[in-house]
Amino acid sequence: MANPVYDCAIAGAGASGLFAAARILAARPSMRVVIIDPNSRCGKKLMLTGAGRCNFTNSNLDLASYNTDDPAKLAHMLSQFGASDTIDFFENVLGVLTVNKGELYYPATLRAGTVVDALRYFLEEHGCEMLFETKADKILPDNGIYKVITGDGREISASNVVIATGGITYPKTGSTGDVKHLTEGFIDNRDLTDFKCSLVLLIPDDPSLKSLAGVRIPATVSLGTEDRKKVACGELQITKDGGLSGICIFDLSGEIVRLVDAGRTPVIHVNFCNAEPGECCLMAAVRAKMFPERSISAALSGMVQRTVLEYVLKKIGYKCNLPAKDIFYNDLCRIADALTAFPFTITGYGKPADAQVSQGGVNLSALDGHLQIPPHPGIYVIGEAVNVDGICGGYNLQWAWTSAALCADGIIGDIRS
C-alpha cells in the first residue's frame, strides 16, 4: 500500500506542535495530521513549566516583555490570538479549567500534566498520529508537496510541514536547535539569528558570593543608566556556585547574555531593601537608635536578611560587630546606598542545560502572518524555533500558542486579513 499523504506533518510534540495539531483538528477533524518527536512521550518540556504548575499565559501581554527582530509583527500576532483566546481554547475545547494569580494563568489543578494530558487526549480522540522516538532529519520539496525524511530513513509525505522543534535550552527535553538544519534550503542564513540562552543564571565577578549560597531574598534589580534603565523585581537566589538566579535575574538575563557575548561586562545593581536610599537610611537610623547596644548587623537584621547584610557591610569596609551606637548617620546613609544599589559585574552566564528559554531562531520578519516561509508555501516555523522570547510570567508559552494557532489557521485556510 502506498504511503499516505498527510495534510500536515508536525516536527515536535512540544507546546507549539501539540497546540497546532489540536487547533487544526478542532476546526477540521477530517484532516490527517502526524506529529514526529524523538522523545517517547509528548510535552516533555511543557511538564516542567511553572515549576510543574504551567503558567500558560499572562493577561497583560505587553510588547516590552518580549524580545524579537520584528516587534510590530509580534504585536499584530498577539492581538490576533492572545491570552483570552488561549483561555477560551483551554476551557472550551480542551476542557481545562483555569485559574489566575493576578495576571498569571494556570490550569486550576496547578499541574502541568493536566495541560499535557488534555492535549494528548484531544489529539488521540481526533485521530492524530504520533511517531515517537523519531527525529525529523530533512525536509525536501516533492512535486508540490513535501517529504520529511526521518532519522531512521523513513519518508513522510505531507502537504504542509510545521517545524515546532523548539530552541536549544533544556536539551534533555529534546530541543537541540534542529530548526537550523531543517530549514536548510528554505531560509537564507541571514534570516536565522544564532540561538543564545535567556532566562538563565548570571555569573558575577565575585567568588566570595558563594558564602551566600542558598539565600533567597526579594529584590529589585536594574541594568543600565537612568536614561535607559531596565528594572526587574522578584525573588533573587544565590546558587551553590555563587551565581545569581531567580525571576528578577532571569528577566534581565536575555539582554545581559547579548552584552556578555559582545565582549562587554555589564553591571547590575541589586536593591536588597526594595526601598529608596533615603527611606532605607531612615529605617536603619531608627533601628540603630532602638538597639544601640547591638552590633550593627544585629540591629539592622529586621530590615534585611542578616547574611546578606553582613556580606554588604564587609564589601563596603564595615565590621559587622561594630556597636550600632558607634555608627554615624553618614555611615548609615552609605550602608543604605549599598543595600539599595549593590553593584555586581557580570562576566558570564549559565549553560543551555539550565536556561529556561532560547533567544534567536528563524527571524519573525522572514515569516508571513501565518508563520509560513513565504517563498515555500506549506512550510511553517512556530514556537521557540522562531526569534521571539519573553520574560517569566507565561509569555513564552503564550507565544507557543499564538504562533501555533496562526499557523493552524493558515493550514485550515481560515486566512485572516
| Chain residues that interact with ligand FAD, rule: CB under 6 A | 11-17, 36-39, 44-46, 48-50, 54-55, 135-136, 164-166, 169-170, 173-176, 178, 356-357, 383-385, 394-397, 400
CB nearer to ligand FAD: pick between 272 and 395: 395
The DSSP code for 38 is S
Whole-number minimum distance, CB 294 to ligand FAD, in Å? Answer: 42
Whole-number minimum distance, CB 42 to ligand FAD, in Å? Answer: 7
CA of 150: how far to CAs of 36, 131, 133, in Å?
A: 9, 10, 10
Cα–Cα dist 318/288, whole Å: 15
CB nearer to ligand FAD: pick between 356 and 363: 356
Whole-number minimum distance, CB 254 to ligand FAD, in Å? Answer: 13
CB nearer to ligand FAD: pick between 103 and 331: 103
| SS3 (DSSP) at 321 | coil
CB nearer to ligand FAD: pick between 253 and 356: 356
Cα–Cα dist 249/175, whole Å: 23
Number of alpha carbons in the 13 Å side-chain half-sphere of residue 153: 0
Amino acid at 47: M
Whole-number minimum distance, CB 25 to ligand FAD, in Å? Answer: 17
DSSP characters over 130-190: EE-S--EEEEEEETTEEEEEETTS-EEEEEEEEE----SSSGGGT---THHHHTTTTS-GG
CB nearer to ligand FAD: pick between 327 and 400: 400
Residue that the C-alpha cell 524523538 belongs to = 38
Q: Dihedrals φ, ψ of 391, to 5°?
A: -80, -175
Whole-number minimum distance, CB 364 to ligand FAD, in Å? Answer: 14
CB nearer to ligand FAD: pick between 17 and 204: 17
Cα–Cα dist 78/71, whole Å: 10
The CA-CA-CA angle for residues 120, 121, 124, to 5°, reads 85
CB nearer to ligand FAD: pick between 55 and 301: 55
